């Protein structure tokens, strides 16, 4: 368990390494090792502690220290966590990078985050160097194992200060700057402190119920990306909290999933809704129950498959709700009995969490549907939450208007306290666990010379939850050839999952009197056009192409 006195990620890890030096911290399966070209096998707590100590000393020797930021593009490799721990030990912060981002996205991120060093896998160093140059950023780019250069000119931009100008350290120090899609185009940088990570580990280790963790050697497997809070904060910190072992796959491979689960010895796993759907589509096999898993933790399982999945594979899928911004400060989790299986139930708010449901006029409703507002009970309503949006105090204040965090999610609540997700108030598309800002996609589409106007909405997808649907007015001849050209161009500008999966050419977009898109009308229009012959299905073009 993470000791009450721990102030940093490093301190929590070091304490666990002292108690369980011979236990495994990381496990790399042969399939993942072959894909990444790294060694398979386990890394123990003692060995990881020694490597982190060596790297931290080298970083300090090169001139890095408190408040410096380092961008990391290391995919789902254990190396990411070693850099996180080493930088945390010297008071520096990490900026995780999604390897699927394209040049313009990388350039924006580098310029906004102002890292003093960028560390990437060797075949992406040139991409990051070009992005940094485009952003006018003086930051060296290296691969793990390269000699450490002196810091770039950005300096300690992550050194947070109190109202009197004094540096904040310990639990209040920035540990990571995590970018998440918002509703206004460019992603926002969420400042995540040491406290954010520590509380995530404490929450998971003490959640109990169906997702109870013990301290006798838990083993977790996840295919989710390390550059998201789920794997970086919850999975990693949960294992640190209980002295467990984390197996991170490069991604989800349906055909070899149960083999990986069995090989890892996993006692628990993390999932997204796309995974149960794919697994239930496979023929039944003796390997369906050839595992040691006690529970899965995640979100978005198809309610029609929920009970059938649990009956077939022999463990509960524990649905939960949280956001990058809320961290462990506001988690709703269906880990307690009785359960509402197959009803898209998020569970009931746990102790210490204060919730409100408000309608469009700001009026509080006991049942909803309405926007979910959350905060911690007690003197510190932001405890466990993110510390704010970097360089965007206005957005931070807006999110916390009235002393509550406004989630942008529409929910309803029943008499027993159970919460149910209804819709998203914010104009965000949720595809296979990735948040996509419709405005960002529209902005990219509008840069294509043939596009006169673009409106983007979410439409239902049986596997990925949402898919991106683009309504376009264009110059030229509408049709499959133009749709393919536009989406192909979009794939050079944005990460593949953000590109339109459907394109429909329309005479005009539904606009307000002030020429703003009527989002609800657009959503209804997109839903009605999905099955129309004139709608071009471009989903097959959306493939992960980043090296």
Neighbours of 246 (CB within 10 A): 24
Average pLDDT, the chain: 93
- Range 293-301 average pLDDT: 94
The tens digit of pLDDT for each residue in 190-238 reads: 999 999 999 999 999 999 999 999 999 999 999 999 999 999 999 999 9
What is d(CA 455, CA 449) in angstroms, rounded to the nearest whole number? 16
Q: How is the chain split into domains, by residue range?
A: 338-426, 431-541
Confirm if 422 and 371 have CB atoms less than 8 A apart. no
Higher-pLDDT residue of 164, 318: 318
Phi then psi for residue 94, to 5 deg, are -105, 150
| 406 DSSP β-pair partners | 373
Same topology, domains 338-426 and 431-541? Answer is no
Phi then psi for residue 354, to 5 deg, are -105, 130
81: nearest Cα among 113, 119, 109: 119
| 504 DSSP β-pair partners | 471
pLDDT value at residue 515: 65
Surface-to-core class of residue 344, CB atoms within 10 Å of its CB (0-12 exposed, 13-18 middle, 19+ buried): middle
Q: Which residues, including other chains, have CB under 8 Å from residue 54's CB and lie 6 or more apart?
A: none
Angle at 387 between CA 150 and CA 163, to 5 degrees: 85
Say yes or no: domain 431-541 is CATH 3.20.20.70: no
60-74, 151-165, 290-304: range with highest mean pLDDT: 60-74
The tens digit of pLDDT for each residue in 436-447 reads: 878 788 878 988
Question: What is the band of 147 on the pLDDT scale with cuts at 50, 70, 90?
Answer: very high
Phi then psi for residue 370, to 5 deg, are -170, 180
Q: Residue 545: is its pLDDT beyond 70?
A: no
pLDDT value at residue 546: 47
Question: What is the band of 547 on the pLDDT scale with cuts at 50, 70, 90?
Answer: very low
Residue with tokens 């006692």: 267
Class of the CATH domain delimited by 338-426: mainly beta
Alpha helices in 269-392 (DSSP H): 274-280, 303-313
């Amino acid at each position: 368990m993470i000791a009450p006195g721990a102030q940093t990620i490093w301190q929590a890890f070091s304490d666990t390494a002292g108690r369980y030096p011979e236990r495994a911290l990381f496990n790399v399966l042969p399939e993942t090792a072959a894909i990444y070209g790294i060694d398979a096998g386990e890394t123990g707590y003692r060995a990881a502690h020694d490597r982190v100590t060596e790297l931290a000393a080298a970083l300090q020797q090169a001139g890095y220290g408190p408040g410096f930021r380092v961008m990391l593009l290391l995919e789902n490799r254990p190396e990411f966590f070693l850099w996180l721990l080493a930088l945390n030990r010297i008071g520096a912060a990490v900026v995780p990078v999604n390897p699927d981002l394209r040049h313009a996205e990388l350039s924006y991120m580098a310029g906004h985050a102002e890292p003093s060093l960028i560390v990437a896998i060797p075949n992406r160093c040139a991409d990051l160097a070009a992005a940094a140059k485009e952003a006018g950023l003086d930051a060296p780019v290296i691969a793990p194992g390269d000699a450490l250069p002196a810091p770039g000119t950005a300096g300690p931009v992550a050194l947070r200060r109190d109202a009197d100008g004094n540096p904040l350290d310990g639990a209040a120090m920035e540990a990571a700057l995590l970018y998440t899609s918002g509703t206004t185009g460019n992603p926002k940088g969420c400042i995540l402190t040491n406290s954010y990570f520590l509380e995530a580990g404490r929450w998971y280790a003490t959640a109990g119920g169906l997702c109870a963790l013990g301290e006798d050697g838990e083993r977790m497997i996840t295919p989710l990306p390390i550059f998201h809070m789920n794997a970086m904060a919850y999975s990693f910190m949960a294992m640190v909290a209980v002295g467990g072992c984390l197996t991170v796959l490069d991604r989800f491979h349906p055909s070899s999933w149960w083999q990986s689960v069995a090989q890892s010895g996993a006692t628990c796993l993390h999932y997204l809704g796309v995974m149960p759907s794919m697994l239930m589509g496979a023929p039944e096999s003796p390997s369906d129950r050839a595992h040691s898993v006690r529970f899965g933790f995640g979100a978005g399982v198809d309610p029609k498959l929920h009970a059938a999945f649990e009956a077939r594979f022999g463990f509960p899928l524990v649905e939960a709700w949280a956001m990058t911004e809320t961290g462990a400060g506001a988690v709703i989790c269906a880990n307690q009995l009785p359960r509402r299986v197959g009803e898209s139930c998020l569970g009931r708010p746990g102790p210490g969490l204060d919730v409100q449901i408000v309608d469009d006029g700001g009026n509080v409703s006991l049942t909803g549907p309405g926007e979910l507002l959350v905060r911690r009970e007690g003197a510190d309503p932001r405890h466990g939450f993110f510390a704010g949006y970097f360089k965007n105090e206005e957005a931070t204040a807006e999110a916390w208007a009235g002393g509550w965090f406004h989630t942008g999610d529409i929910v309803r609540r029943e008499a027993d306290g159970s919460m149910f997700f209804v819709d998203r108030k914010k104009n965000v598309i949720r595809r296979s666990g990735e948040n996509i800002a419709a405005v960002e996609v529209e902005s990219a589409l509008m840069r294509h010379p043939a596009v006169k106007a673009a409106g983007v909405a979410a439409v239902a997808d049986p596997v990925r939850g949402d898919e991106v649907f683009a309504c376009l007015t264009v110059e030229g001849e509408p049709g499959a050839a133009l749709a393919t050209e536009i989406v192909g161009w979009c794939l050079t500008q944005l990460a593949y999952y953000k590109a339109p999966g459907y394109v429909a050419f329309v005479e005009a977009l539904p606009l307000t009197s002030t020429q703003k898109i009527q989002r609800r009308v657009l959503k209804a229009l997109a839903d009605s056009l999905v099955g129309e012959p004139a709608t071009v299905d471009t989903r097959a073009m959306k493939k992960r192409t980043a090296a």
